[in-house]
Structure 1
Amino acid sequence: MSASVHSSSVSGANEIVSMDACALSRAIHERKVSCVEVTDAFLTQIDRINPKVNAIVAMTDRDEVRKLAAERDAQLDRNQSMGPLHGFPQAPKDISPVAGMVTTNGSPIFKGQITTTDSAGNGRLRCAGAVFIGRTNSPEFGLGGHTFNPIYGITRNAFNQAKSAGGSSGGAGVAVALNMLPVADGSDMMGSLRTPAAFNNVFGFRTSVGCVPSGPGEEVFMQQFSVVGPMARNIPDLAMLLSVQAGFDPRLPLTRRQDDPKQFLQPLETDLSGKRIGWLGDLGGHLPMEDGLLEVTRKSLDYFKQVGCSVEEITPQFDFEKLFQAWLNLRSFTFSGTNFALYDNPEKRALLKPEAVWEIERGLKLSGLDVFNASKVRSAWHQTLRLLFERFDYFVMPATQVFPFTAELHWPAEIAGKKMDTYHRWMESVVPVTMLGLPTLAAPAGFGPNGLPAGIQLIGPPQADWSVLQMGHAYDQASGFAKMRSPLLD
């Protein structure tokens, strides 16, 4: 590697942080660049850009970070590598515990809280050699799809700082888009990986249920909606991080033992000729869309055709309003159960944001029959899509219903003249996937007439995580949308 990479200059730092994560991992392991130099380069990039977007918060003491990076170099001196992320600066999402770091969940209830244990996912990042430099910002309890909270404030869009970064993995998406992290972890319940990926022109992968451990928590059987997954600027980098995150965890019985995480390190290239793609669009007019968004995302279908796929427009015969109402019940049921203790404490309840209180109170009103009937709707939707997967190999639809909106707006109250009746109705496009736990890649789909990014969801059949990444890689190579970089990187 050139001498400039070994320099502490801004140009040297730019060369390091601009590298693909896979190339950076190779460079570290081949001793072409040290872990200390990598850490310093990313810290320089954070100092330069983060004040404009507020993506990374609760920064770790820099002397401690550099000391840990030096330990990583010493390990390599002894021919000891911890894994693909050896020496990688990482900033885990602030709603996921990290031992010895602040975990606020974006809530004043937990301001300054130092957690003592790692989540399953963060423990794997640590064991793979990551150097934790801070946290990525998230909305309070991950609610709302827009990253702002009373502790750290608003995270701003990578391409237009007047706009939302999406959420809840908004800090992660912006940090990756602006080369402040080589890759980043995230989680997704209602689009929390997919929305920020679409809003910031990067990739976010909602893994299938059981692929990556999420938790552990007090309850490990009913929490099927929120999954952990990677964010990156390309698919090989995404897959490399997933190779660290994935795999069975005995504390979490729904994780899959039969999958080998090393599969995600295999070459992604494959022949996709004859693969059948169903375009779901706006679900036959059910989903209101901001002007121009459907047209932009529809054009992405040309690139699937370029790699040999056939494309057909399809509207599943299902009551999507009934599906959304079932989703509301199941979401409120799980959120209220997880967070009831906070609501039950009057002092803590006063610190909850209104959307959290609404969700909990709604959940408390549900009967057991309400929850069971919602699960029946979910099951019926599974059977509908199962039959459609006999005709199609993948489905594609817009990742969002809006372009990035004004950052100071809590959530869009109206789309295309239709009022949004809940704080998350504007994200309804992600619900059909979440309800079935399907592997889904949010991928860049170009830019609208307003110059703002748009994204698509590439949806695979149950547990087909690897094949979705292969298709996503082919799409990325054909489209080139992900190579578009923010003006902040100039």
Structure 2
Amino acid sequence: MGSELIYLPATETLALLRAREVSALEVAEASLRRVEEVDGRVNAVVTVTADLALAQARALDDAMARGEEPGPLHGLPIAYKDLTDTAGVRTTYGSPLFADHVPGSDALVVRRARAAGAVTIGKTNTPEFGTGSHTVNAVFGATRNPYDLTRSAGGSSGGSAAALAAGMVALADGSDMGGSLRNPASFCNVVGLRPTPGRVPDHSPTAAWFTLGVPGPMARTVADAALLMSVISGFAPTSPFAVREDGSLFAGPLESDLSGLRVAYSPDLGGLPVDPRTAAVTARAPEVLAGLGARVERADLDLSGAEDAFRVLRAWHYLNAFGGLPADQVGPNVAWNVDQGRRVTAADLARAERLRSLLFHRAAAFFDTYDVLLAPVSQVPPFPVEEPYVTEVAGTPMPDYLAWMRSAYWISVLHAPAASVPCGFTPEGLPVGVQIIARPWADLTVLKVAHAFERATGHGARRPSLSPPSG
């Protein structure tokens, strides 16, 4: 049954495990076998923890044999982004400076997933310190898109997205500042949820109040992402803005009647350039929701100020987090961000905070009229893996490596939950996701709408052939 297990939804694999129709050891072995078969071409799981996975799986099987109640993620293979600390397991952050780094403790998401019975398969690739939406670094090289090995898997959670798409794991974690959960999900035809900040509490010794970067779940289905959310979300005192609601909020059924749901559709978020291939795919999304009974209107949320606010706050964060590292030993993207941070003034920070406050209140008024906003995740489909970043979108030059990600990072400033769900494919067979956004703390609304969209379209069920690159 091993070959059938690799693409089963996590919820279905969990049902088989609970019914003892398959063992945790069999599931772990199937996952590790798949990594061995395909990851040499994809380069998604950069540190494989086979011995740990098999030991965890055997312990879970023994516990079941003793009659112990299985946890909510019992026996499900998971891989953690190489930014996520894992005790005793190499965690490089994609940086040569940390190529041999082994943390002494687990991040909160790891502790919660392990306690729920998840089996650790390994660590997934990320750009250096998660910098950029293309997963490549000097330690492990580039992660390739399972749907076309000549293309990028996106980033910065590109290893997680590619591992899911290739059937290597059932679940994965990620993190998102400027689109790092949503962009790779779009590129790899999987689901990525950027939760409301504080929904999945983080721990930062230097920037505890920073809300642009958040941890979150990735999976092949919306229900699987909700399952992982039910475990990793919930209050923790490590974050000063941790949401008090319990993670069990996400454990219930996602089926929902969308009749009367108020949907705003913005094909370009108010004028951003969008590749015609991406635009053609996302243009079909409003009809899907309308067919499910939603009231869909063409409407733009006023996002003026989002560009300035995001860039100032991001630059400040990079100086705070990485300004002490030797400039000649970090990559060009990190060095550029730190340099931008050194240029930030008190007046810049004050302006960014004012702009962000205005955006928050404008979005609140917008979501009094609409329940969700539908928009592109990325302005382009997956681009050639050899290119460091997108330099032009629909004929418009991009001034730097960040600019092509505006459709994702403008949303990051809103303190709002946003998901990428598979929306279709370009004529070349490249995946395209659509972004579903709601007001802050309405994460469950996002998941329910995404689930209905997923069920109505079935795009997420299309699997990659993993054919070798041409030439």
Partner of 2:239: 252
**Which residue does 1:327 correspond to in 2?**
310
Q: Counterpart of 2:396 in structure 1: which amino acid? A: K
Task: Within 5 Å, give how 1:181-200 maps onto structure 2.
Answer: 181-200=169-188
Alignment counterpart, residue 33 of structure 1, candidates 18, 22, 26: 22
- In the other structure, the counterpart of 1:22 is 11
Which residue does 1:49 correspond to in 2? 38
The match for 2:250 is 264
Task: Return the match for 1:421 from 377, 391, 399.
Answer: 399
Instruction: Quote the Cα distance in structure 1 between the aligned partners of 2:301 and 2:213.
Output: 24
Report the secondary structure of 2:283's partner residue.
helix
| Aligned counterpart, 2:436 | 458
Q: Deviations over 1:329-358 (max 9, x none)?
A: 11001121011221xxxxx32110111111
Aligned to 1:341: 324
Q: Secondary structure at the match of 2:409?
A: helix
Find the aligned partners of 1:23 and 1:317 in 2 and give their Cα distance.
41
Shift of residue 68 of structure 1? Answer: 2.3
Corresponding residue to 1:393 among 371, 376, 380: 371
Q: 2 CA distance for matches of 1:16 and 1:316?
A: 42
The 1:80/1:382 distance shift into structure 2, 3 A limit, reads same
What is the letter of the counterpart of residue 306 of structure 2?
Answer: L
Contact 1:92 1:134 (C-alpha < 8 Å) held by counterparts = yes
Matching of residue 120 in structure 1 with residue 108 in structure 2? yes
Relative to the length of structure 2, the TM-score reads 0.97
Shift of 1:489: 9.2
Alignment match of 1:444 (pick from 413, 417, 422): 422
Rounded to whole Å, the distance in 2 between the matches of 1:316 and 1:240 is: 30
- 1:149 lines up with 2:158 in the alignment: no
Note the 1:84-95 alignment, pairs <5 A. Answer: 84-95=72-83
Q: Which residue of 1 aligns with 2:291?
A: 306
- Asked if the contact 1:13/1:45 (under 8 Å) is kept, the reply is no
3-state secondary structure, aligned to 1:390: helix
Which residue does the alignment assign to 1:374? 352
**Cα deviation 1:280-327 (Å, max 9, x = unaligned):** 211332x111122112101111110111101111123453xx421221
Deviations 1:222-255 (A, max 9, x none): x101111111111111111111110001121211
Q: Distance in 2 between matches of 1:65 and 1:279?
A: 43
Q: SS at the partner of 2:369?
A: coil
Letter of the 1:263 partner, please give it: L
Range with greater deviation from structure 2 (29-38 or 237-246): 29-38
* 2:218 paired with 1:231: yes
What is the CA RMSD across the aligned residues, in angstroms? 1.5
User: Following the alignment from structure 1 to structure 2, what is the Cα–Cα distance between the partners of residues 164 and 236?
Assistant: 26
Q: Distance in 1 between matches of 2:98 and 2:13?
A: 35
| Counterpart position of 2:384 | 406
Give the AA of the match of 1:182: A
Match of 1:289 among 262, 271, 274: 274
Q: 1:274 aligns with which of 231, 254, 260?
A: 260
* CA positional deviation for 1:82: 5.3
Asked if 2 retains the 8 angstrom alpha-carbon contact of 1:107 and 1:151, the reply is: yes
- Indicate yes or no: 2:78 matched with 1:101: no
Aligned to 1:471: 449
Shift of residue 50, structure 1, vs aligned partner: 0.9
TM-score (norm 1): 0.93
Alpha-carbon separation, structure 1, partners of 2:467 and 2:450: 25
Matched, 1:170 2:158: yes
Instruction: Show CA shifts across 1:429-487 (max 9, x none).
Output: 01222001211110111011222111111001110011111111111111111111111
User: Any gaps of 5 or more consecutive residues in structure 1?
Assistant: 1-11, 343-347
Q: Distance in 2 between matches of 1:67 and 1:104?
A: 23
1:100 aligned counterpart, secondary structure: coil
Distance 1:465 1:420 in 2: 32
The aligned residue for residue 410 of structure 2 is 432
How much does 1:133 deviate?
Answer: 2.1
Letter in structure 1 aligned against 2:239: L
